[in-house]
Structure formats: structure tokens, C-alpha cells
Amino acid sequence: MSRKKSRSAKPIISNDWRDFRQQPMHEQVEEMQKSIDQLMSLSLNEAAAKLRETLLSIDPANAKALYAQGKFYLKQGQRKKALANFMAAAPQMPDNPKLLTYLAKLHWQTRQHRASLSALMRLTQLEPSAANMTMLGALYYSIKLPERGRYWIHRAVTKEPLSLPEGNTSTASPKLTVLVLRSAESTEWALNQSFRSAMKEGHNNLASLLDADNIVQVRLFVDHLDKAPEIIRKLPKIDIIYNGITDAERCQDALMQAQTLCDRLYLPVINEPKAVLAASREGNYLRFKDNPNITLPKSVKVENTQESAKTIVQCALLDNDFKLPVIIRLAGFQGGKYMHKVDNLDLHDFSELDNELRKLPQTAYIIQYHDVSYTDQRSPGKILYPKYRAILVNGVLYPCHLFVADGYNVHKENSDPVMREHTWLQEDVESYCRNPSQHVGEERWKSLELLMNESGLDYCGVDFALSTDHSEVERLIIFEMNPAMRNRAGQLPEDDVVHSSWLRVTEAAHMMMTKLANIETWEFKLPKGLPACSKTDDPLTLRLKIQGQVQGVGYRQWFAEQLEQRHIAGWVRNLADGNVDAVIHGPQPELQLLLDEVPNGPADADVTGLSADVWQGEVPQGVQILQTA
């Protein structure tokens, strides 16, 4: 006896979408949603997206479909379509935290800052976590509203000053547990284009380079420890303390709090806060001004001032026996930011400094300028300015890099073009990195190492050059000496002599930590360098395999945007194994700059591996995002 098939026995996935049009409206929607869910469970994402389009043509206000379609477009890297769908869904899903997160991020990336702020504010109202408050504070800082930024950062650090490590298999039995001290309120914050928050000043990046497989980090913001002493009781067993707060001026109050904590814990400390406080520019000058082999330029600090920059310089010239040219710079900024060389008071443009001074009271330094410029017959007509960097680790001074620019304010961005143009400078880089005492002079190098040891710091950087002023008989001129300098071990090609130098510094830092903790060393997992790339201008075609969390996070769209911005041809696609595949073609220096950026990716990406090989296939033309292989 035949039996009628029940409706539930009907296949959920229909081969003919016209079948749905023969059903009542609510039944069409219900059946389509079931089919979409099943397609998604089978990872048939593109088929599910096409069916959602059909559903939305029937029911344009279906919030679930709009939200899901937005996520699909986001995975495809189509930000505008993703944002349009999310915005259409938002009125019906006003309290969906994930949707608000997507809206905040996409509005930020499309420069709709007020909309981003509004979405993030609502998210923080729904979920008042320290992470959301930090993002909100960083966003306010990024749109030039620092007072509001400070308010939210204060709330975040008050709510959650201590970050304990999450349980994971790799660090279930750590060899070393480090308490990393930080300050949230002594620095400025920022959001990058990938919607990541970060502290801009006052800390170095050594903690981010530690062997994560064997070292657990407990991170503590010290800003309000005096008001919450019970936090100390929440600390797990700690082996050593690493004071990551590095700026004596900007972070003075935080360093005092940190020193009180260190005194209470009776543990080995790397960079005791009181030693950092003593290593201000003015403090270094007063301690070391009489060194016979090294010159620390005369330096005067003007605290808590909002006077015009010109007035500050005039007073320094009158009251402290400075002679033009002098350097004026605002304290607490790195990378040569807010630093001016003044040759003529009446002709100099002080507007940049004055604009910053008007925002809030600042600490300014006036520094006597010492000439280190030189000329070389291999680059006729060029005046070159060198800046050497070295790092002291546990009493030993290690060379790091040499930058040469065509202006007095030397940093990587203005050094790279000069050093690419004058390839012979690479010989000087290699000479310094391989044998610094021979390159700068054995007595000068030894004097520099001894002087830095007198600072009492365990991990400290120095920028310097040889004077070219005949009256100074080629003494070493120190530009900076502080623990704030950032380690570049993971940002350089593996075949680069500078990468090897930074790697030695990083390994020495690991060794110092194990020695202080009185534990045996192991084979540290050090930061990997970037794939090696030749430095000629000849075009090259490379195939990249990018591993990690790189699918479903907009990585392909981000990668394509990088290609367009850098005028590099190429294509990018997802692989079935969860990684990303790409082929790129262009001048080798430009490819190297792209490789430097690939590990960063968009906000939600987590790149754990990058390999690059020469591509023998068809050379790409233009920029394309291809379908999954």
C-alpha cells in the first residue's frame, strides 16, 4: 500500500529554484532558509550566497539573510557590498554585538569616522569590556579627540589592569613566566587601517618577540596600582619582571608606580623603573657630560609649557649659553617626530610645534646641535648624515643597523631611498654590523659600552655617529640613549646582515631572562625573518603561500589593495587547505616592501607562515582576486 510522502521528507536543497515560487510566501522563505543553512553546513558558501540573493529578491528585508550576505561579501573582500548589507540589517538587529563590530570596522576603513564611533559606542554600551573601551579610546585618539580618548582608556585600565594568559597547549607547562609592566595612560593610542588599537609611545616591543611556545607573559597596567593593591594577590607565580615602560618624561608617574610594585615583589627585574627614570635626556647629559671619548650634547628641559616654540628657543639661547644651530624637540615622541633643527630664529617655521603645544602642556628639549655630516666622492654633491644604532643587553653592546639619509633627521623612511640609490653604503652597513669596534674604533666602542653600563639598564638602545667637527676630534656623538628603541628582528629579510644583528640582540635578551630567573636555557623560538629577496631593480615574479588565519577575514581584498597601492601586478586566491596563494610581479625592492607588510594583514588575520619561491608560470597582468583553488 503506497504512502504519501510527508512534507518533511521533501529534499531541503532543490535543484530548481522555481519550485519555491509555487509555494506561499512564508513557506518559500522557510524552505530557502533551511536550504541556505544546509549549504553553509556543507561549506558551499558561494551556492548559499546565490540562494540568499534569491531569498532577498523575494523578501528584501530579511534581516538574517542580509546579515549573512554581509559576512559572505566580507569574506570575499568586497567591503562596500558587505557594509551595505550590514547597514540594511542593522535596524532590525540593533543589539547584535558582532554586527556592531562589523559596522564599526567597515565604517572606519571607509573613513566614515562618526558612524564607526557610533557603532563602537553602542557595542561598548552592550558589552562594557576593557577591550571595547580600549578600542573606543583608541578611536577617539585617532580622530584627534585625546581628552575623550583618555577618558575611555582610563575606564578600560581601571576595569581590567591585569591580563592573565589564556590556557593553551603550547604554554601549558611554560619554562618561564614573565610579568610585563605597561602604562596605558602615559601614552597616546591609535587605530590602524586594519582596526587594531596600539600604544604609540612610551614602550618598546621586546615583549612581542619572546618565545611564545615556552614563555608565558602576564601583562599589567600599573597606572592605578595605588588604588587597587589587591591586584598583586591575583598574580600567578612569576619568575622575573620585565619593565616595558621606557620613557622617563612621558611615563614618569607610571614608572614610580612600577618601582613601588617591584620593591614589593622581590623578584629579578629587567630595566628597573628607577633606572629608566634616571635615563632621561637631561639625566644622561648631567651624568656623562665629562666623558673624554663621547659627547652627549648639552640639553635643557622645559617642562609643562605651552609657550611658542620660538620663545622656548630664544630663552634657551639667552639663559643657557646655547649657540645656533640647536635642536628643539618635544619629549615622548619617537622616529624624529616633532624635532626641528633651528638655524635662524626669524626664518624658521615653528607652526608644527606650536600646533602641538597648543593642544596641551608639553615637555620640550633644547639640544645643542653637533655636526656629523660628511661627503663621499662616490656620491658627488651629496651631504650624508649617518645614524648608528646599538643595543646593550646584560652588559654587552651589540651593533644593530646603520641608517644614512640626506638630512639631519635620520630615520628609516628617509634613509631607505638614499641607501637604495647609493648602493656602496651597504658596505658600511656590513662593516659595522660584522665588526663594530673596528668600524668605529676599538677605544670608542669600548667607551660607549662602559658608559651605557653605568646607566644601570639591562636592555637599552643608543643612536650615535662620529663627529665631523674638527674641534671634537671624531668623538662619538650620542643622539639618543634610552630603552624605548624598537627591535626589528621580524621585519627584515633573512639573508640581511641587519636581520642577523637584531636576531643576536633578541637571543641575548632571552639568555638574560633565563639567567636572571636562574633556569636552564633552551633552543629559543626566535622571530623569523622575511623571505630573502634580491635588491636589484630587475623585475621578479614570486609565488607566495601565506599561512594562518587568512580566510574569512578579508585577507584577499587587503592583499589586492596592497598590490594596487604599490603598483605591483599580481593575483591572490584562497586555497582549499585554509591558506592563501598569490603570485606577484614587479621590481624587486618593491616586492620586498610588500613582503615586509604581508605578515600584518587586515585586523582579524593572524599570519603564522610565509614562503616565497620564484614563479615560472604566466606573468600576471593587473590585479585580480581569483576563485578558491
Give the active site residues.
556, 574
Nearest to 337 by CA among 244, 205, 201, 204: 201
Task: Give the span between the Cα atoms of 492 and 515, in whole angstroms.
Answer: 28
Looking up cell 589593495, which residue turns up? 561
Q: What is the DSSP annotation of 419-444?
A: HHH-TTHHHHHHHHHH-HHHHH-HHH
Report which residue type is found at 104: A
SS3 510: helix
User: With the CA atoms of 122, 124, 128 and 130 taken in that order, what torsion angle do they form, in degrees rounded to the nearest 10?
Assistant: 180
Q: What's the DSSP call for residue 620?
A: P
What are 327's strand-pairing partners?
341, 367
Q: Note whether 245 and 274 are within 8 A (CB).
A: no
Task: Give the span between the Cα atoms of 203 and 104, in whole angstroms.
Answer: 27
Q: Tell me how many degrees the CA angle 201-282-389 measures, rounded to the nearest 5.
A: 60
Q: Tell me how many degrees the CA angle 588-552-196 measures, rounded to the nearest 5.
A: 70
Task: Give the span between the Cα atoms of 228 and 223, in whole angstroms.
Answer: 10
Residue 539, Cβ neighbours under 10 Å: how many? 14
Angstrom CA distances, 278 to 255, 502, 529, stand at 11, 26, 34
Looking only at the bridges linking them, the beta strands covering 269-270 and 240-243 are: parallel
| Ramachandran class of 535: left when φ > 0, alpha when ψ lies in -120 to 50, beta otherwise | alpha
